[in-house]
Amino acid sequence: MSLLVNSAGATAADPVLNGLGLVMGVAASSMDVADLINTFVDQAAGFPGTNTVVSSVTPAESVVTAGAAGGYNDTTKQYSISDTTGLAAGDFIYLSHAAITDGVFEIATVVDATDFTLVSNPLDSSGDQTNISYQVAWAYPTTAGAAPMVSSAGGQINYFKADAAVSGGANTQVEDSVYVRNAPSGSAYIAIDGNSYTGGTTSNSAMTLAILAGWANQGGIATVELANHSVQTANNFTWTSGGGTGEVALATAESGLTASVGDGAKYGRLLFRSATGSATTVGVDISITVDTTGPVLTLFAAAA
């Protein structure tokens, strides 16, 4: 197995793009962790780990809230557990119940001392429920390639490791990996009308856009937004599909770009995200010259 971001990260040929937002975490399906001993991010497999990141997990490693008497109110769409102390929006929790597929779910809001809502509600419209088993999960939010992670031009493997124990002291150690890779250059990274994303010329005001076409899952990019060029402080592009410049799904972005009316240099910036609305982006300035004027031709004849 591998730690995947939008299906990317399994190999150096199918990596996560350096700079995208990334969350790695650990949860206990047994829901009996009493001590999160440590977590690590390393470039080599095995324990003991080298680069500890346990102080950066959320909720804090000291929060081990678990139970078997959780509830769900289908009117308010709120879940209830023994105590939400230490939890916040964006944290994760492992839930188990006969009416759902057991797994890790992201918290949308913490309502009060016992109640919270989820980003994706597995019990929506199922009626009120009781006897939900649960335990908090611990997440390490970071940026792909940020220390102690490593990225490279060819793709670098990074291991996330966790060590946790039950109340009696028996512990379990687990690890898994994700590959992170630097963006390639030129059209291998971003192709506009088949050319590199800077300095090209096209005769089309509506142009094709391809992003990391050579990477199987395109680096884990989920959405793209148009913004002002960082130097020219202007954006001369809109999305061909649907118009506008706002954040859209990758497939919509790759439906193409439409440049503003008129020939000349066109500037903009693409913002890549791994999750909708993420504050972590990879920004790339783009520029292309639109020239729709053909050559001036003169026909002539001569004796031969």
Residue 31 has a CB neighbour count (10 Å cut-off) of: 17
Residue 189 has a CB neighbour count (10 Å cut-off) of: 20
Q: Are residues 78 and 193 in the same domain?
A: no
Q: Are residues 176 and 250 in the same domain?
A: no
Q: Examine residue 59 and say whether the peptide bond preceding it is cis (omega within 30 degrees of 0).
A: yes
Say if 85 falls within a structural domain.
yes
Contact 203, 194 (CB under 8 A): no
Say if 218 falls within a structural domain.
yes
Mean pLDDT of the chain: 97
Tell me what pLDDT residue 2 has: 83
CATH number at residue 261: 2.60.40
Tell me what pLDDT residue 174 has: 98
Output the DSSP codes for 246-292: S-EEHHHHTT-EEEPSSSEEEEEEEEEESSTT-S--EEEEEEEEE--
Q: Domain end: 181, 207, 231, which one?
A: 181
Tell me what pLDDT residue 1 has: 63
Q: How many Cα atoms are found within 13 Å in the side-chain-facing hemisphere of 171?
A: 12
Q: Are residues 167 and 254 in the same domain?
A: no
Say if 62 falls within a structural domain.
yes
C-alpha to C-alpha distance for 36 and 61, rounded to whole angstroms: 6
Run of H or E residues at 22: strand 21-26
C-alpha to C-alpha distance for 221 and 271, rounded to whole angstroms: 10
Q: Are residues 38 and 136 in the same domain?
A: yes
Q: Are residues 169 and 230 in the same domain?
A: no
Q: Which of 285, 290, 273 is nearest to 234 (CA)?
A: 285
Q: Examine residue 15 and say whether the peptide bond preceding it is cis (omega within 30 degrees of 0).
A: no
Please state, in angstroms and as integers, the Cα–Cα distance from residue 246 to each residue in 208, 210, 235, following that order: 18, 18, 12
Q: Which of 302, 272, 304, 270 is nearest to 287 (CA)?
A: 270
C-alpha to C-alpha distance for 277 and 239, rounded to whole angstroms: 18
Confidence of residue 92 (pLDDT cuts 50, 70, 90): very high
Token pair 């202007």: residue: 234
Q: Are residues 83 and 176 in the same domain?
A: yes
Q: Are residues 129 and 90 in the same domain?
A: yes
Please determine, for residue 68, whether its predicted confidence score (pLDDT) is greater than 90. yes
Tell me what pLDDT residue 132 has: 98
- At 122-151, the pLDDT tens digits run 999 999 999 999 999 999 999 999 999 999
Q: Which two tokens stand for residue 159?
A: 């291991």
Residue 303 has a CB neighbour count (10 Å cut-off) of: 3
- At 250-263, the pLDDT tens digits run 999 999 999 999 99
Single-letter amino acid code for the residue at 46: G
Q: What is the pTM of this model?
A: 0.93
Tell me what pLDDT residue 234 has: 97
Q: Are residues 147 and 204 in the same domain?
A: no
Say if 101 falls within a structural domain.
yes
Q: Are residues 207 and 153 in the same domain?
A: no
Say if 281 falls within a structural domain.
yes
Q: Are residues 45 and 118 in the same domain?
A: yes
Gyration radius of the chain over CA positions:
25
Token pair 């004849």: residue: 301
Q: Are residues 151 and 192 in the same domain?
A: no
Lowest mean pLDDT among 182-186, 203-207, 232-236: 203-207
Burial label for 124, CB within 10 Å (0-12, 13-18, 19+), is exposed
Q: Domain end: 181, 212, 244, which one?
A: 181
C-alpha to C-alpha distance for 145 and 106, rounded to whole angstroms: 23
Containing structural domain, residue 206: 186-290
The percent of residues above 90 in pLDDT, for the chain, comes to 98
Contact 290, 263 (CB under 8 A): yes
Looking at the 3D structure of the chain, how many domains does it have?
Answer: 2
Q: Domain end: 123, 147, 181, which one?
A: 181
Say if 1 falls within a structural domain.
no
Q: Are residues 151 and 205 in the same domain?
A: no
- At 23-41, the pLDDT tens digits run 999 999 999 999 999 999 9
Tell me what pLDDT residue 302 has: 96
